Homo-oligomer: A and B are copies of this chain.
Amino acid sequence: MDMDREIFEGLLSAREFKAVRSILNVMNAVDIAVLLSELEDKELVLAFRLIPKDKAADVFANMDGNQQSDLVEMFTERELKVILDELFMDDTVDLLEDLPANLVTRILEAVDPEKRNKINVLLNYPDDSAGSIMTTEYVDLRKHTTVAQALMHIKRVGIHKETIYTCYILEHRRLVGIVTAKDLLTMDDDITMEEIMETEIKSVSTHTDQEEVVQLFRKYDLLALPVVDADNLMVGIVTVDDAIDVMVDEVTEDISKMAAVNPSEESYFDTSVFQHAKNRVPWLLFLMLSSTVTGILITNYEKAFEAVPLLVSFIPMLMGTGGNCGSQSSALIIRGIALDEIHFKDIFRAMFKEFRVSIVVGVILAIANGIRILIMYQDPLIAVVVGCSLIVTIIISKLIGCVLPLLAQKINIDPAIVSAPIISTLVDTCSILVFFNIATMILPQL
């Protein structure tokens, strides 16, 4: 049900608690979080207290950082404790990463010592590692457990576990097998875990990069992925919903980098004007100074364009086409790398492919452009100069666009960085050099 926010806020400020409560009763946690997203301070805490107990923690986990800190600040000790007891480990850690220091202390004081220790461990995993996105709640079973016992166990503990659809068979805390809820639901009661468990297990270590985690989910259609520590002991799981969130964040980061913007953690409107400027200026400065080189290069050919002024008019077209060709190639290669389809070892194969594509593309564009020049200026020599320059520029651009991301990947730089803007700037310089050199060779006036 999509509740109209204005009506809801009206009911709330009219203190129609009964109506508010029945609305909150039928809605799901995600939608409630959206519904409350414009409330502040007193109204927020008031509305939050009307949410049914079993949904409150879930709603809280779905709110944005500002609202969460508002609430933590206004909660009584008891309320805070209730919410923290219900929150999943990974959501608690996410919360702590966003909160100001004084509220973090407040929270760490409110949880019991055992949970506090776990939280501290999780907070210490490097950003973007499997450890930082995993949760420590999962169902663990023993080899000799029977299906009936497993089902009993899940009935007892399962309600508090983030996912119960994959159960982990441990032996001295070491992961030896996996049994799915599907197995438990469809197998006979007296079969033991050992008989049905899958022993060929996909797992990652706490320090595995989250991008690799996401690739495993994608490749093997997983619902959850176990995480082991340096001693190969099981410490947690990553669930598919968190993997999807990581996937979305990684793509946003790549798209930002490909447009020469330092990625922001916040959404577009939540990022301040100065933060936006700060994310964009460094690249623009760098690219601006690089393109100055191209500009100075052009002045070197001053005599050429004084002799044949028409030449200048082809510069934007050549530089533009070169830049576009380079971006096309780099975008496809960068995406291929992200999808694990293209690797550094394929570099020559990719270059050969781009080379052949460049020839086809170059010849077509050169012909189209040649016809235009012949019609407009009736000057076949200029048509040849521009056509040859186009073909050479396109070949160079596509090769640069293909090689740079692969080289970056090889030396552990994010390939998304060496994308359109950098490649365009590089290609600009090349296209000017190519153009004036070919012109000088072919045109008798120069």
A255 adjacent to B258 (CB under 8 Å): yes
Interface size on A, residues (CB 8 A): 112
- Contact code string A270-284 (vs B, CB < 8 Å = 1, else 0): 000110110011011
Interface SS of chain A: helix, strand, loop or mixed? helix
The complex places the Cα of A159 from the Cα of B188 at a distance, in Å, of 13
Residue of B nearest to A245 (CB): B218
The complex places the Cα of A347 from the Cα of B239 at a distance, in Å, of 36
B342 adjacent to A268 (CB under 8 Å): yes
Q: Beyond A154-B185, A312-B298, A420-B259, is A276–B353 a contact (Cβ under 8 Å)?
A: yes
Q: Beyond A155-B186, A240-B240, A269-B342, is A317–B335 a contact (Cβ under 8 Å)?
A: no
* Chain A residues numbered 288-325 whose CB sits less than 8 Å from any CB in chain B: 288-289, 291-292, 294-296, 298-299, 302, 305-306, 309-310, 312-317, 319-321, 323-325
**Among A75-83, A114-122, A356-364, the stretch in contact with B:** A356-364
Q: Beyond A258-B331, A261-B331, A336-B268, is A284–B321 a contact (Cβ under 8 Å)?
A: yes
B331 adjacent to A255 (CB under 8 Å): yes
Contacts of A312 in B (CB 8 A): 295, 298-299, 302, 305, 312
Q: Beyond A268-B341, A336-B268, A353-B273, is A288–B321 a contact (Cβ under 8 Å)?
A: yes
Q: Which of B280, B291, B295 contacts A357 (CB 8 A)?
A: B280
Kindly state whether residue A328 has any CB partner on chain B within 8 Å: yes
A165 adjacent to B186 (CB under 8 Å): no
- Contact code string A135-178 (vs B, CB < 8 Å = 1, else 0): 00000000000000001001100110000110000000000000
Contacts of A335 in B (CB 8 A): 252, 255-256, 268
A292 adjacent to B26 (CB under 8 Å): no
Kindly state whether residue A346 has any CB partner on chain B within 8 Å: yes
Q: Beyond A154-B185, A164-B182, A295-B316, is A285–B365 a contact (Cβ under 8 Å)?
A: yes
Q: Beyond A1-B200, A364-B277, is A428–B316 a contact (Cβ under 8 Å)?
A: yes
Q: Beyond A218-B244, A247-B247, A332-B261, is A339–B252 a contact (Cβ under 8 Å)?
A: yes
B181 adjacent to A159 (CB under 8 Å): no
**Among A11-19, A36-44, A219-227, A228-236, the stretch in contact with B:** A219-227
The complex places the Cα of A200 from the Cα of B295 at a distance, in Å, of 62
Q: Which of B30, B251, B327 contacts A251 (CB 8 A)?
A: B251
The residue in A184, A217, A302, A328 that gathers the most chain B C-beta atoms within 10 A of its C-beta is: A328
Q: Which of B151, B256, B310, B365 contacts A332 (CB 8 A)?
A: B256
Kindly state whether residue A195 has any CB partner on chain B within 8 Å: no
Kindly state whether residue A241 has any CB partner on chain B within 8 Å: yes
Kindly state whether residue A124 has any CB partner on chain B within 8 Å: no
Residue of B nearest to A275 (CB): B357
* Chain A residues numbered 177-229 whose CB sits less than 8 Å from any CB in chain B: 181-182, 184-186, 198-200, 202, 217-221, 223
Q: Beyond A159-B186, A325-B284, A369-B288, is A277–B316 a contact (Cβ under 8 Å)?
A: no
Kindly state whether residue A260 has any CB partner on chain B within 8 Å: yes
Contacts of A420 in B (CB 8 A): 259, 327, 420
B259 adjacent to A332 (CB under 8 Å): yes
The residue in A27, A305, A331 that gathers the most chain B C-beta atoms within 10 A of its C-beta is: A331
Kindly state whether residue A53 has any CB partner on chain B within 8 Å: no
Q: Which of B252, B281, B324, B334 contacts A283 (CB 8 A)?
A: B324
* Chain A residues numbered 104-140 whose CB sits less than 8 Å from any CB in chain B: none
B223 adjacent to A240 (CB under 8 Å): yes
B255 adjacent to A220 (CB under 8 Å): no
Kindly state whether residue A5 has any CB partner on chain B within 8 Å: no
Closest 10 interchain pairs by CB? A259-B331, A295-B313, A221-B241, A277-B360, A291-B320, A294-B316, A268-B336, A291-B317, A273-B356, A299-B313
A-B contact pairs, 10 of them (CB 8 A): A30-B219, A247-B247, A255-B334, A256-B335, A284-B324, A285-B365, A288-B321, A289-B372, A294-B316, A306-B306
